[in-house]
Structure formats: structure tokens, C-alpha cells
Structure 1
Amino acid sequence: MKEKQNLLNLNQKALDAFFKELGEKSFRSKQLMKWIYKDHVFDFDKMLNLSKNLRETLKDIACIDFPTIVSKNHALDGVVKWIIDMGNENNIETVYIPEKDRGTLCISSQVGCALACTFCSTGYQGFNRNLSTAEIMAQVLIANLHLKASGRHVSNVVFMGMGEPMLNEEAVYNVCDLLLDDWAFGLSRRKVTISSSGVVPALERMSERVPVSLAISLHAATDDLRDELVPINKKYPIKELMRACKVYLNAGTQERHILFEYVMLKGVNDSANHAQQLARLLKNMSAKVNLIPFNSFAESDYQVSSVKTIEAFQNILFSQGIRTMTRRTRGEDVDAACGQLAGKVLDKTKRSDARRN
């Protein structure tokens, strides 16, 4: 028996093609998207502006399937973390961060991560597989369904959860299409952010494919240090990464900026000299730096820089004309802070075993 098509896998263009094959007009895509993403109706029988014959056909060949929620944890500061079952002993994590004027959802794009950044808990878990469009999209729907009762909703989405989004391009692009689509979530391009450690060829493709915001997980301004912290730098060194960033900044017709993320590690990358190196690297670039106090986890020997050190680092960047902010740690009491997401990963790379030995 042919497997049913999970309609959460399809953006509007793909839905148009799906309904065309059924002999239906393209407006059916918009009707279906409204039911799913606006009204949160997932039962075809309740989609009453679809003909009865179409509803019966959809029940035979299609589905709207969600993964199972393993647990939901509430932090003292209002952060919510969902652990979601992806089958075969794999879990991912999704985090909602409430602010006064917005609600940001941090979503995962892979089960684990293959990049093995040394300061990130996800990297220690190893890698299993990419998530499908439906599995990523379900994270946003799960959050909105939970928030509905409190009158809140997801206003911003960041691909900063488990995984490297630019190693799962097509699924991530499809999700971005739906997040920006007025018939789905209708978010503005500035409210959707892809964070990448620097997969250069994919970043160049992304510049033309989706007009969303870009964050670069940088953490060092020289190749020697970045090779140690972010191993993909050995394949795509900083010079190539900066070239790809300029491609992004010059793409499209609307003004673009890049957020550079920089985790503050005591005695590793937090000196005045490191700050000067970073200022020189980003000079004359439309950029903003987000300094992130390191969030500890069991396997790591790193320590967070002191508040005084972070302030001094920030002041040096300010003095060089670099826009800078320091991220406030959120959700730490439920291991939902930046760099702490670990989930449960059946590691196909065996990297996690090697690192523990």
C-alpha cells in the first residue's frame, strides 16, 4: 500500500502541484493551508469548504501527522521546552522564549548535529538524520497549539535548535516558505532567522532562495582558534565565510544585516585582543554581534567569561563602531539555554562514543 502524503511536507507551490494531479484548482491549496495553519483543523471531515469527494480522497491518500511529545518543561522565567519523539530512539528539543513584545520559537532542523562544535551540547550527542519539512513544521504548530490557550503565539522563529540548518537545505527552505506565506503563518522576513556555522556553498544558495534573516555562529575571528571551536572552519575558513556573507548582504532588493553569534568562553576567546580581532574582521560590514555567555553542560570543560570581561569585550566592539548586545540567558533551569539542547540521539557517526573515550 502506498504511503500517505503528509501535507505538512508541502509548501504552497507543492500543494498546487498535489491538487493539480487530483484535477483540482489551485485555490484548494489556500483553503487547506488556512484550515491547517490558521484554524488548526487537522481532520479532513471538518474542512467543510472542500467537496465531500475531495475530503474522501484526501483521507485515502493524505494525512496531517505530528510527532509525539515526550515531555513539556516550564522554566521559572517562562521559557517552555518540548522534547519530541522522532522515532528509533531519537528525540529533538524545541524551545519557546517569551518576551514582552514577542514570542520566539527556537526550532531544530536535524536529529543531533554532525559539526561537533566543542562548546555545544548538541555536538556531543552526535548525528542521526535530517528532519523532514513536516517534522520541522510540526514544531511550530505544536508551540502555537500550546500557546493558544494563553492568548499568545509564535511571532519569531529561529533555526537555532539542534542541527545545522544549511546541511538540510530543502526542508529548511520549504519551512521558510510556509512561515512567510500569508496563508500559513504570514511572518515577515525579519522575524525568521537561519543560524549557520558556515556551510559556505549553502549560504550562497540561501541568499537567493529565501529572503530571511541570517545569523552566523562565529565564536572566533582567526582561523587557528575557530578551527578548534567550530571544526567546519577547516573546510570553509573565515575568508570564504566572509565572502559568502557579503553575497548574502548584496542579494535581493531589500536591505540586509547579519547577526554574528559569539559565545564567551573564559580564557579562550574573550580577551581584549580577541575583541580587536573581531572588530577588524567585521569592519565596514552591515553586522551586529550577539555576545552569548557560555551555558555549561556535563561533558564540557569550558567556563563562562565573567560579567566584567564580557562588558570590557563589548565596550571594545562599541568603540570600533560595531553594534553589539549581550544575550540574556533564558531557560537554564530546564537545560533550554543556548548550547544546552541535547535531546536523545542514536548517533550514526559514532563521534559521541569517541569523544567520551
Structure 2
Amino acid sequence: MHKPKIGISIGDINGIGPEVIIKTLADDRILNQCTPVIYGSSKVMSYHKNIVNPDFHFHACREVDQSASGKVNVYNCWQETVNIELGQANTESGQYAAIALERAVTDLKDKKIDALVTAPINKHAMQLGGGFPFPGHTEYITDQLGAKESLMFMVSGGLRIGLATNHVPVSEIVHLLNKELIIQKLRLMHHTLKMDFGIERPAIAVLGLNPHAGDNGLLGDAEEKIIRPAVVESKKGGILAVGPFSADGFFGAGQYQKFDGILAMYHDQGLIPFKLLAFGNGVNYTAGLSGIRTSPDHGTAYDLAGKNEADPASFREALFQAIDISRQRSTYLEMHENPLKVNAKKAATEEDEEIIPEED
């Protein structure tokens, strides 16, 4: 079984990112599933491990190619000593988070790592320390990988919610939404569910923008003018899309359980129900890119930094999701690029299974 090399950007050094990374990777069984490479600093990781787990060990390297299988690797993106101020958003925490992220995304783009898991950053600190001109990880990585469009996709088990618009003021949502955008997001979600999640014919629910999905035009006409036409056209293109649904009733009645994916129109419409249903175990996946990127569903949690109280569950799920998607995508691409090779491999595996004697 292929053991993918998973990059991990350290995130904000004053937040809980290093803590949840250490807690996740302290389980040696993870090393049987992947080769982790933390993009950051061995000095910073040593500082945090002394708080979290003094017995945590890692292998320091200066290039990703020097990473060792069977070990936790720390890629030193800088050599200087950094002043750590736990729980504070400042210039240094933003500067070094930006350096680590840039190095990790460059290696993802160059295919030196199979996937990237990003620990949380603080947007204010990023602007202070690096003039970071993006609303968040999603927009930055989309830009760096040269994609025209991506999909912010929140995932927890069978619950998968994508967003038509991401980090934008509520006042701008109605101006950004159009039929073409929704069709594009539906295509991205459909392809992602097939390629990265192995769902052959995914069913996708589309939420309305207005209360009660516009109530036949009484509460707004975006549903009839934009969303429904996008759903109809997507169906003609072979996508099993249904909607628009009234968002409150859709989640309240449990209809979300019947669909492989859900397209919400704006951030809070998708994130509020997602976090109510899956907080602590959710994963933020940037779909539609040439590279694989996941992250936990929480932020820097400055109030918990340095207390050894942060729950690593969401970060652990983000790591597992990166591993699973890496393997699933590899199988999908191999099958579609060379189906004869895949069939031959499957036949060989089945033949091997037939000759293995049963135990008494």
C-alpha cells in the first residue's frame, strides 16, 4: 500500500496548531499510514513539545527530500530563534506562519508531497507579519496552484457541505451569486465526490438563498432567477442536483442525510449547521485543485494556547482525510488514465487471494 508523504504547515506558533500536531503525531501508528513532514522550525516544535509531550521525537531536515519514512519530520523553514508569545496575534507569529505556508504550498505544487494539512492561522497576524492579502488559506492556495476556481468543502463522514461563496461580507453575497458560478461549483463538487471520495453517481442538494427558498418570490427571487436555472442546466449536464431547498427545514428535518453533497450559498448558511452537527471532528477540504489540502474546522484558539487542553480530534481527522483522498485520487486517476493496467492489477490480486490457503 502506498504510504503518502503528508506536509503539515505549522500555522500560528502562538496558537494551538503545534499542540494538536504533536498530540496527533505522538501516536506511532500514524507512521504506518503516512510520512509526515511539519513545515516550521525544530526550535518552535521543541518549545511546544516541552509543554505538551516531552517524549515526542522528530527528525529535523532542511529539505523535504531529506525526510525519513517511519519518523515525524520537521522541515526547518527558518533557522533563527523566534520569540513565542502564547495566545497573542503579533507580527512574528504571522510572519513565520506565512513562511511555513509558502514553503509547504510550493512543495505541494511541485508534487514533492502528496497532500498538505494546514494548521490554523490568524488572519490579522498574517497581515501584520507578511502583508497576507488573502481572506484565508483557501483563497491563497487556490491562487498559488493556479486554479481559476475552487470549492470550500466541509467534510465529516457522510456530511459534506460546499460553499458557493466563501469569506465575503453578507452584503456582497447577492451581488456575487449568478447562474454560472453555481453551475461551476456544482461541477467541482460532482467531480470531487467522484474522484476524491469514490462516489460513482453522487446526489447533490442545493440550498436556496432566501428564507423558505424565496417562498415563491415573496421573499426574494434569487431562487427562481439564478439557483433553479443552474440546477436545471446542471442536470442536463449529467449532474444529479436537486433544489433549491429551504435551508432551515432541510437540516431540521434531517434531509441532509439523503445526499452525498450539499451546496450552500454562503459561509454561515453552510458552516453553522456543519459545526452543530460535526464540530470537533470536521475537516475543511479545498476541492477542485491539482493538489490536496485539508485543515481542521477550528481556529488558533489563543485562549487555550500553552494550557495543554486543546482537542486534536479535528486535526487528526484532517490528516486521515488527506491520506484517504490521496489514495483515492491516485486510484481514480490511474483507472481513468490506464484502465487496462488497473484491471490487470485487480485480476492479479484476485488470483493471489485464490491461492492463499485457508487457516484451519
TM > 0.5 between the two?
no
TM-score when scaled to structure 1?
Answer: 0.26
Using CA pairs under 8 Å that are at least 6 residues apart, name the structure with larger relative contact order, 1 or 2.
Answer: 2
TM-score when scaled to structure 2?
Answer: 0.26
Q: Which of the pair is proportionally richer in helix?
A: 2
